Structure formats: C-alpha cells, structure tokens
C-alpha cells in the first residue's frame, strides 16, 4: 500500500484526487511520514515536516506527494 493510499484510507476518502480537492485551499493538509507512515496535518507545501514518531524531517503533505505543489 502506498503512502497516498494510507492517507486516503485514514481520511475515509473515495480517492486521492477528491481528498486533495477537499484540502486544496485550506491552511492545513493531510501529511504522512515517508519513513514510518505516521499521519499528521501540515501546511499544504510541507516537504520536510518533523515526525515525532521517528524524529526525522520526513513528513510530506498529500499535495506534495501528488506533485500538485
């Protein structure tokens, strides 16, 4: 299962595109750690957010993962 699929499941969305559209104009966005898959909410342009689970700067927002930003 991909990181994007994990976020879609966690937010109970029909698809990644629909989830992205929900948060496109918001100040926060679903985000996930690329190392341990911990889920957060960060700024839409987040590409190196802090993960409190694995203590690394490896959190990326859904919009970054989808190459929308």
pTM of the predicted protein model: 0.92
DSSP code string of 3-52: HHHHHHHHTT-S-HHHHHHHHTTSS-EEEEETTT--EEEE-TT-SSEEET
**Per-residue pLDDT at 2:** 95
What gap in Å lies between CA 43 and CA 60, rounded to an integer? 9
The pLDDT tens digits of the residues spanning 17-68 come to: 999 999 988 999 999 999 999 999 999 999 999 999 999 999 999 999 999 8
**Per-residue pLDDT at 22:** 92
**Per-residue pLDDT at 69:** 82
């Amino acid at each position: 299962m991909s990181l994007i699929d994990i976020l879609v499941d966690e937010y109970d969305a029909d698809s990644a595109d629909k989830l992205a559209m929900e948060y496109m104009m918001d100040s926060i966005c679903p985000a996930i750690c690329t190392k341990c898959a911990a889920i957060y909410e960060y700024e839409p342009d987040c590409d190196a957010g802090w993960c409190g689970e694995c203590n690394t700067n490896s959190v990326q927002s859904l919009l970054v993962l989808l190459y929308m930003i």
